[in-house]
A = this chain, B = another copy of it.
Amino acid sequence: MYDRQDLTFQLFDVAKLDHLLAHPRFDALDRSAIEGFLDAADHIAETAEPLAARLDETPPTYRDGKVDMLPEAQSAFDALREAGLIGGPLPETYGGLGLPETVHQALAFVLSAANIGLTAHGMLTLGAARLIESFGTTAQKEKYLPPLAEGRFTGTMCLSEPHAGSSLADITTKAIPQEDGSYKIIGRKMWISGGDHELSENIIHLLLAKIPGGPEGIKGISLFIVPKKRVDDEGGVGERNDVALAGLNHKMGYKGITNCALNFGENEACIGELVGEPHNGLRYMFQMMNEARVAVGLGAAALGQSGYQASLAYAKERPQGRHPDEKTPGSGQIPIIEHADIRRLLLAQKAAVEPALALGLFCAILLDRIELGEETAETDALLLDFLTPIAKSWPSEFCLEANKHAIQVLGGAGYTKDYPVERLYRDNRLNPIHEGTHGIQGQDLLGRKVTIKGGAAAQAFVAAVTADLKRPTDDKDIAAFQESLKQALDRFGQTTMAILGKTQEVGVRRMLSNATLYLDFTGHLVMAWMWLRICLAAEEVRRNEGDSDFLKGKVQAARYFFNRELPRTKGWAETLSSLEDSAFAMQADWF
């Protein structure tokens, strides 16, 4: 479930999709075409949403080395394929629709809100295709992109291994060069989403491995295409390629897509193709990771949105209790949305899920502008680099919190399988873990993004926020938001300098020890900025079309965020600036 009115407002009024569509490459696309795609996604979501509950109840199982899945999953996946929604942003030459990333992400948001597992198959397939599109040879593109774009093949990312999850430097999967230029792959991969199933004709694994004799650690990692079934040069699917499903992980949620342990080359008959240059695999993978991480954040926002809508609908319908000052005996019960604390639980959700969507779309617009090679592409790339860990992790953490609130609105009913909110809470718990844990994102932000290119990314961020601080407004609430955000931005600058300034004195280990808190701190600032952008857009709509309940709700939810959430950054700034060390100084034996 999601709010179509909000999504179109966010796309056209906040993210200004029209500006992007004005580019000649998108001549064929206008607002009504986009609405048509959204209709198509809505249509698929109608069937996909009840299926999500059924797949949760009856998840895929492992039987005789194969994945057994509810047959309805096949028809839902086929519907997705047939609507062209898998390879949407790929070029038309390769069977895609040439959609802007922003439109694709909006469609993925609709589908994720209905069924995150199903949508994940599409996300992974597109991710695999993009790696080949960016770094593969023409022959590889011609061979693999059309069936991936079509969803006839699906894709995976094979990074982790049983002993190497977050620490990719330690992978041991080998790729041994063969005389014909191919590589023999030997190793075990773990946590592979969509790693095996029967939904597609073939599965194309994009796999990290080490070519023996290469550099140690991450500098010796290369990227390979490893199909489940061999593909001949004409694209024909042949025999199995010695990739074996070793087992399925049994997860607490996100059950609509398998998560697999895979063995490559048990019989020394697994063949892979190198992508790009040897030893550059991690760099390639990370280039693609920006998109994947933004997509994870949008998925988290979609799950949050879905829980928000479900709990909102319930709160409007369910009568229970009375106001505390209602003393009339026999007075009727009121809908729970009338209780202040239920409104808080709803508003807290709205205040989290809407700016999370705004940030995802903001990042998607940046991706599109970079892709189009717009004048601002260099700054856009810096800004995107800076925002990516936040776009991934803030929704993963705080839209999960929103799902917790959704359960609370429903009370006992929310704890049962009669409503979707408990499932959404379980589904969303994955998001702070995969595609780089919350902690890893913090290290990325404070340990890399803040300092790269002499702080240029952080400066691009400050400049972008400052531009919105200067936008004129006639609304005194919005002017107050600008003032609060300005103070928070100053706090961000001071805190960042305070931390970095102590590196010399305390060492990098301690400097980075509160990086996760720094991530949340910066994330809250970014979300306040997104609320400002939403409110400025709302003001513009109000000026043109008059006020409405919809627009009033935006300003009120922003008030909630500025009054209740943004002030948390004050305490966090103190903790961060002092390099508070209770966790750092804790010893393993003291636990």
Contacts and interface: CB of A to CB of B under 8 A. Distances in A.
A434 interface: yes
Interface in A344-375: 344, 346-347, 350
A173 to B, nearest CB: 16
B249 A590 contact: no
B252 A590 contact: no
Interface string A491-515: 0000000000000000111101111
Contact of A563 (B163, B553, B580): B580
A418 B250 contact: yes
A396 to B, nearest CB: 11
A143 interface: no
A316 B583 contact: no
A242 interface: no
A166 interface: yes
A457 to B, nearest CB: 19
B513 A589 contact: no
Contact of A417 (B252, B407, B433): B252
Contacts of A170: 333
A167 interface: yes
Interface in A157-212: 160, 163-167, 170, 190-191
Nearest to A312: B591
B167 A321 contact: yes
A341 B515 contact: yes
Interface string A238-250: 0000000000011
A194 to B, nearest CB: 15
A447 interface: yes
A341 B513 contact: yes
Given A216-B330, A438-B408, A167 B320 contact: yes
B325 A507 contact: yes
A560 B583 contact: yes
Contacts of A422: 252, 429
Contacts of A585: 556
Contacts of A251: 415-417
Contact of A590 (B191, B439, B556, B574): B556
A426 interface: yes
A584 interface: yes
Given A447-B324, A512-B324, A567-B574, A583 B344 contact: yes
Interface in A464-500: none
Given A552-B590, A582-B560, A412 B512 contact: no
A163 B400 CA distance: 29
A516 B344 contact: yes
A560 to B, nearest CB: 4
Q: Which residue of A163, A191, A319, A429 has the most chain B CB atoms within 10 A of its CB atom?
A: A429
B582 A415 contact: no
Interface in A316-338: 316, 319-325, 329-330, 333, 335, 337-338
Contact of A587 (B425, B426, B515, B552): B552
A582 B563 contact: yes
A485 B434 CA distance: 39
Nearest to A308: B591
A217 interface: yes
A590 B549 contact: yes
A459 interface: no
Contacts of A437: 408, 411
A553 B16 CA distance: 53
A570 interface: yes
Contacts of A316: 588
Interface in A429-443: 429-430, 432-434, 437-439, 442-443
A66 interface: no
A33 interface: no
A345 B415 CA distance: 26
Interface string A247-273: 001111100000000000000000000
A559 interface: yes
Given A249-B416, A346-B591, A575 B583 contact: no
A328 to B, nearest CB: 10
Q: Which residue of A160, A216, A589 has the most chain B CB atoms within 10 A of its CB atom?
A: A589
Contacts of A434: 412
Contacts of A512: 324, 340
A324 B508 contact: yes
B343 A583 contact: yes
Nearest to A553: B590
A432 B412 CA distance: 10
A323 B164 CA distance: 15
Nearest to A326: B509
A31 interface: no
Given A191-B412, A417-B252, A509-B325, A341 B587 contact: no
Contacts of A100: none
Given A216-B330, A590-B553, A347 B433 contact: no
A414 interface: yes
A586 interface: yes
A564 interface: yes
8 contacts: A163-B319, A250-B417, A325-B508, A340-B509, A341-B442, A343-B588, A408-B439, A422-B429
Given A325-B509, A343-B588, 7 more contacts: A166-B411, A316-B588, A338-B588, A339-B439, A347-B591, A411-B433, A549-B590
The 3 closest A-B pairs by CB, nearest first: A553-B590, A340-B513, A344-B583
